[in-house]
Amino acid sequence: MRRSLFLFGLVLSALLIAACGGDDDGGEGGGEVEQLRADVDALQSEVNVLRAAQEEAETERGEIFGEVEAVLDEVLGSVEAAEAVEALLQPAIDKAAGEIVAISQRLEAGEAGALERIQALMKLQETVAELGAELNAVVRAPVVGYFLQLEVLAQALEQATEELSDSLGVAIEAEDVPRAKEILQDLSAVQQEFAAGIMALDPPQAIAPAHTEAVEAMQAFVGLVLQLERLIAPVSTIDDFMSVFLAFAEQPGFEQVSDRNDAACEQLQDLAGELQIDIDLSCG
């Protein structure tokens, strides 16, 4: 395509030289020469504009694939996924590029004007926007799926914890130590189920570090709850129960692990916000 444009430019230059090569006879002949020169200049301008449009189209094409590869490498980290998305987008890109080439050829033949070039570029821009939307949907699908599953787990944990905490308060007020111990065991079980649930999730590559930190922080928190459960096991009075419970909650290690767990949750919540995914992980 570029070679044909170059040759076309040479032809125009030759025409110009041929038209101006003889003596200037003045009068009508001179006017014809000037008109021919103007026509040739106009055609050369058309060719220059076309060449710029073609280069712009090729640049757009390269940028599209570059963005596709970069996003896929970061978010999906999968060669297979990259090939699948490229196969999805290729026909639309080729169609847009084909339209540019077709109009270029018509311009060379003197059949296309500036309006059609503008329309072709506008079509390319529309195609780029459509491809961006398709790419966004493909890339976001596993990310959105991960966060939605995480939200379900977090909401279930929040609801169960609130209900058990209320029940624990009732048991303590009634000085029902056996019941209080059972509720504490249930709280421990709920925490363990949540930890197992998030461990079973398969996070996208870009979220994996935050996910790993959340898993490890939750495992550390579950370890503390199990430790509290063992300390509470031998007590027989509500006063002893509360003494052990409060002393355990006030130790520095408990606060550090609890803060780490909250921070890990908030990090995932912030990531979801940055990705414009509306979820509530009930952190803190």
Task: Give the model confidence (pLDDT) of 191-224 as tens digits.
Answer: 999 999 999 998 988 899 999 999 999 999 999 9
Write down the pLDDT at residue 177: 95
Write down the pLDDT at residue 61: 55
Tell me: do 90 and 152 sit in the same domain.
no
Residue pair 91/85 in contact by the 8 Å Cβ criterion: no
pTM for the model stands at: 0.56
How many domains does the chain contain in total? Answer: 2
Write down the pLDDT at residue 143: 86
Tell me: do 198 and 240 sit in the same domain.
yes
With respect to residue 128, please indicate whether it lies within any of the assigned structural domains.
Answer: no
Write down the pLDDT at residue 141: 75
Write down the pLDDT at residue 276: 87
> Which SS3 state, helix, strand or coil, does residue 52 take?
helix
Of 54, 62, 45, which is closest to residue 1 (Cα–Cα)? 54
Tell me: do 83 and 158 sit in the same domain.
no
Write down the pLDDT at residue 220: 94
DSSP assignment, residue 276? T
With respect to residue 34, please indicate whether it lies within any of the assigned structural domains.
Answer: yes
Write down the pLDDT at residue 270: 94
Q: Which residue has the higher pLDDT, 26 or 134?
A: 134
| Mean local confidence (pLDDT), 64-73 | 53
Q: What is the mean pLDDT of the chain?
A: 75
Tell me: do 193 and 107 sit in the same domain.
no
What residue type is 173 in one-letter code? Answer: E
Tell me: do 84 and 192 sit in the same domain.
no
Domain coverage including residue 22:
2-112
Model confidence at 70, in pLDDT bands (50, 70, 90)?
low
Tell me: do 170 and 54 sit in the same domain.
no
Tell me: do 106 and 184 sit in the same domain.
no
Tell me: do 11 and 68 sit in the same domain.
yes
With respect to residue 157, please indicate whether it lies within any of the assigned structural domains.
Answer: yes
What residue type is 214 in one-letter code? Answer: A
Task: Give the model confidence (pLDDT) of 221-271 as tens digits.
Answer: 999 999 999 999 999 999 999 999 999 988 888 999 999 999 999 999 999
Alpha-carbon Rg for the chain in angstroms: 35
Tell me: do 93 and 215 sit in the same domain.
no
